Structure 1
Amino acid sequence: MHSLPETGYLRLPQIIGNSKSNPPIPALIPVSKSTWWAGVKSGRFPAPIKLGPRITVWRVEDIRELIIRLALDAAAA
């Protein structure tokens, strides 16, 4: 299981993983980049925060809530 900090920000590779990095980054939410952005657009996934022109992050608290919600949805199915 991943250890998330209590507060802070996560970049997209920290959320969806990156198997090509060295060392590989395991996915918290195993979806593709396009699926992630479609989910953000539809409201299924949390909205990002822009820290700069090329820096997009998500609040750890929002990702933690998303993981719990997805687990509850999977358990109900």
Structure 2
Amino acid sequence: MDTQISTTHPADTSDVTQEHVATPRPRRTKAVASTDLTLTQFDSLPNAAHVRLPVVKGLLGCSSATVWRRVKAREIPEPKKFGGRITAWNVGELRRTLSGADKVS
């Protein structure tokens, strides 16, 4: 019986070409896509509309912690609570604050 034992290490990929290696694509979730859309169309939203934290983060270009820090420091308006876990900012109030026309008191 003739058996051949391979001495190649499994991690040896020197003969693998780039076309055989699959690179994973980053997945875009529905929430990310809707946030991107809301940010691009922010100017067309009515003043009575409300936006969630990811949109505010995108508008300010900062992290969640910084958004909450700015709310606490009264640099941006406080969000409204719409139930147990839903918090959103009024678009009109954000516009006034971002334009500098309204100081949060």
Q: Which has the higher strand share?
A: 1
Alignment equivalent of 2:56, drawn from 1, 9, 15: 15
Residues 21-60 of structure 1: pairs in structure 2 closer than 5 A: 27-60=58-91
Q: What's the C-alpha RMSD, in Å, of the aligned pairs?
A: 1.8
Offset at 1:64? 0.9
Greater RCO, 1 or 2 (C-alpha within 8 Å, sep 6+): 1
Number of corresponding residues? 60
Are the counterparts in 2 of residues 40 and 46 from structure 1 also a CA contact under 8 Å? yes
Question: TM-score normalised to the size of structure 1?
Answer: 0.69
Are the counterparts in 2 of residues 2 and 28 from structure 1 also a CA contact under 8 Å? no
Unaligned runs of 5+ in 1: 17-26, 71-77
Matched with 1:3 is 41
Question: TM-score normalised to the size of structure 2?
Answer: 0.52
Pair 1:69-2:100 in alignment: yes
Are the counterparts in 1 of residues 52 and 89 from structure 2 also a CA contact under 8 Å? yes
Offset at 1:60? 0.5
Offset at 1:67? 1.7
Unaligned runs of 5+ in 2: 1-38
